[in-house]
A = this chain, B = another copy of it.
């Protein structure tokens, strides 16, 4: 295992240990049982890892870094739970989604509770700059805006790639940006630096989401831990769907009409033959490159853990 792989694995184990030890009340069970169930999911912990690496680079207190990573992972889980209700998704990370395992009311409330606990964890950090919570909640509001655009786009026919990247920058980029800049805020970096740091994370987030759109069609269902093609099936405007329509609207619409939500063969064939897969891969590559060059401009070198972790994300297979 390479050094960066070992480091990432070490952070993941430490993070999971902290999450497991995190004190949650037992009662009322109606609130805390679903929360505990949600936190048992085997997330890849990309966000906590990014926070730990960024915190190390910005020399942030390790105890604070652990708190920030717990808060952000709870926030992330909360948004997934509410998104899954809105999208009627039944499977996530190889486990039933929360509203499917319990019911919609429990899942709404569990999400609200996790969001509140996330705030409480951050509130408990002493001597933090006033701007810290403000930055955090601005990020959350942007995630809400991204989800709103995503839902709104379902009803629209003509979504451009620019509208799409604006949406995923909010829905996914904002939080990856936060993972990268929150430790910097704690460490007292200047506003100018924080804006640059934020930008790197956001570019990474856009790349990450475009990659996810590709996985949703071309990955192995068991690796993904959820049924594939569901975004296409529910008329989500993914990078794939937009570029496919740009290439040949009539044929794409016909393939989608015939799609049963399971058999991806015709969809994959179309995307390969019409170079849509290539084009979307190039788009992801563009945002990864932008993230790398901005990272280097910030003084990270290509031997740094953060740079290597970005490369690891780019090379992931789900």
- Spell out A's residues near B (CB within 8 Å): 28-32, 82, 85-86, 104-106, 108-109, 111-113, 115-117, 119-120, 123-124, 126, 130, 133-134, 137-138, 140-141, 144-145, 147-149, 151-152
Contact = CB atoms under 8 A, between A and B. Distances in A.
A277 B106 CA distance: 32
A184 to B, nearest CB: 18
Contacts of A124: 134
A113 B151 contact: no
Nearest to A142: B116
A120 B117 CA distance: 16
A140 B123 contact: no
Nearest to A112: B144
Given A117-B141, A123-B133, A123-B134, A112 B82 contact: yes
A116 B140 contact: yes
B86 A108 contact: yes
B86 A109 contact: yes
A148 B115 contact: no
B28 A152 contact: yes
Contacts of A32: 148
B28 A149 contact: yes
B137 A119 contact: yes
B144 A120 contact: no
Given A30-B151, A113-B144, 11 more contacts: A31-B147, A31-B148, A85-B104, A108-B108, A109-B144, A109-B148, A111-B112, A112-B112, A112-B115, A113-B141, A120-B137
A120 B134 contact: yes
A117 to B, nearest CB: 7
Contacts of A137: 116, 119-120, 123
A133 B130 CA distance: 11
Contacts of A28: 145, 148-149, 152
B31 A144 contact: yes
Contacts of A141: 113, 116-117, 120
B130 A126 contact: yes
Contact of A109 (B29, B105, B130, B147): B147
Contacts of A145: 28, 31
Nearest to A119: B137
A238 B105 CA distance: 19
A47 B126 CA distance: 29
B108 A148 contact: no
A142 to B, nearest CB: 9
Nearest to A144: B113
Contacts of A117: 141
A277 to B, nearest CB: 29
29 contacts: A28-B148, A28-B152, A29-B148, A30-B149, A31-B147, A31-B148, A32-B148, A82-B108, A82-B109, A85-B105, A85-B108, A86-B105, A86-B108, A106-B151, A108-B108, A109-B144, A109-B148, A109-B151, A112-B112, A112-B115, A116-B140, A116-B144, A117-B141, A119-B133, A119-B137, A123-B133, A123-B134, A123-B137, A124-B134
